[in-house]
Amino acid sequence: MRRFAIGLAAALAFALAAPAASACGTPETDCAVAGDWGEGTYRIARPEGPGPHPAVLFLHGWGGRAEASIANAGLIGPLLAAGWAVVAPQGEPRREGERGGRWNSRNDAGARDDVAFLSAVAAHAAETAGLDRGRMLLAGFSGGGMMAWRQACDAPESFRAYVSVAGLLWRPLPEACAGPVRLLHVHGWSDPVVPMEGRSVAGGRLTQGDLFEGLDLLRRANGCARDDPDAYGAEGAFLLRRWTDCAPGSALALALFDGGHRMPQGWAALALDWAAEATAAER
């Protein structure tokens, strides 16, 4: 696995030291987008050097804020050091007057169409910040990981690849997902908040889906020749399963680690290495 420690301090200093400005494009300022789907904002941090930069759109968890994600050195530092920009969209307020956001990962009527919102953010960031639209990954944690799953299932062409950490589809799962799609799912073995089998929340009104049923949907969308993985391995603290005998342009992998509901150390290096391998034939 590549190591991203080199240049980390310089990348963070460049991305986080800029003073606040009225226009968007710094970690301290919001960028606004709007369309028929509604409206929303995002923040961005860019690495040193000339563009266009590849980018990771990172989706915060339930109640999270884009400003906190973009200021989290442990989260964005490894990505910046590897030469990737980080775009942090903001979920809609959970309740009126709240700053913490949520994602419309269940496609609720009346809520913002977040599939369209995230596509609009990607296009806007590419145009205004000099990012490479064709080299964008959508990643998310917990509630953000649930939204990454929904985007991957409903509109896989929106992003080059997807990374979900501790986020699942909701029940009832869709009958089918579109494809081909590239998705890496990362999950803690002992996660009690979003267990791999899912659980009921909100007093039983909502039920998280089963990870393995979701993987089955993507195997079918990718035309994989077999249900069981055909490649196993380990990367640092992660145990990996891969499905490789699938349609061109697709990739599917599961990474498990010994832990609970958290972003595991090393996830960024794992994700970028996986994405590079998954898209190597297109470069």
- Where are the domains positioned within the chain? 8-282
Question: Residue 93 and residue 103: Cα distance in Å, rounded?
Answer: 9
CATH entry 3.30.750.24 includes domain 8-282: no
Helices marked H in 85-142: 114-129
pLDDT in tens, 124-141: 999 999 999 999 999 999
Tell me the average pLDDT of the chain: 91
Instruction: At 36, list the tokens.
Output: 């028929």
Residue 234 burial by CB count (10 A; 0-12/13-18/19+): exposed, middle or buried?
A: exposed
The pLDDT value given to residue 283:
58
pTM of the predicted structure, to 2 decimals: 0.91
The pLDDT, as a whole number, for residue 180 is 97
> Mean pLDDT in each 10-residue stretch from start to end of the chain (283 residues)?
40 38 77 96 94 96 97 96 98 90 95 98 96 97 98 98 98 97 98 98 96 98 94 96 96 98 97 96 68
Q: Are 166 and 199 in contact (CB under 8 A)?
A: no
- Per-residue burial over 23-62, b if 16 or more Cβ lie within 10 Å, else e, is ebbbbebebebeeebbebbbbbbbbeeeeebbbbbbbbbb
Residue 57 and residue 89: Cα distance in Å, rounded? 7
Helices (H), the chain: 8-16, 66-70, 73-81, 114-129, 143-154, 211-221, 267-278
pLDDT of residue 41: 97
